[in-house]
A and B are shown apart, each in its own frame.
Chain A
Amino acid sequence: MGYIFGPTWFYGIDYIFDFVSVIVGLLIAYFSYRIYKYTSQKKYIYFSASFFLVALSFVCKILATIPVYSKELKVETVGLVTVTSEIIKKVGWVSQFGISIARLVTIFAFLLLVLVALKIKDKKIIVLLGYLLIISTTLVSASYTVFHLTLLIMMSILFLNYRHNYKKMKSFNSKMVMSSFFVLAISQVFFIFEGVAQQFYVVGESIQLIGYLVLLFAMIKMLIKK
Chain B
Amino acid sequence: MNERRTKIEIINDILKAIYEKGGRIKPTHLLYKSNLSYKKMLEYLSELIQKEMVKEDVFKGKKGYAITDKGIHYIQEFKKIKEFSDSFGL
Contact = CB atoms under 8 A, between A and B. Distances in A.
Q: Is the interface of A mostly helix, strand, loop or mixed?
A: helix
Contacts of B51: 38, 40
Interface stretch (A1-9, A75-83, A140-148, A165-173): A165-173
Contacts, number: 63
B79 A173 contact: no
Nearest to B8: A39
A171 B89 CA distance: 11
A134 to B, nearest CB: 27
A135 to B, nearest CB: 29
Contacts of B33: none
A35 B85 CA distance: 9
B7 A225 contact: no
Contacts of B8: 35, 38-39, 41
A200 interface: no
A149 interface: no
Given A174-B89, A177-B88, A40 B47 contact: yes
Given A41-B7, A225-B79, A174 B84 contact: no
A168 B85 CA distance: 13
Nearest to B85: A35
B83 interface: yes
B84 A222 contact: yes
Nearest to A168: B89
Contacts of B90: 43-44, 47, 116
Given A41-B7, A164-B89, A174-B87, 9 more contacts: A43-B90, A47-B88, A47-B90, A162-B89, A169-B86, A177-B87, A223-B80, A225-B79, A226-B79
Interface of B: 7-8, 11, 47, 51, 53, 74, 77, 79-81, 83-90
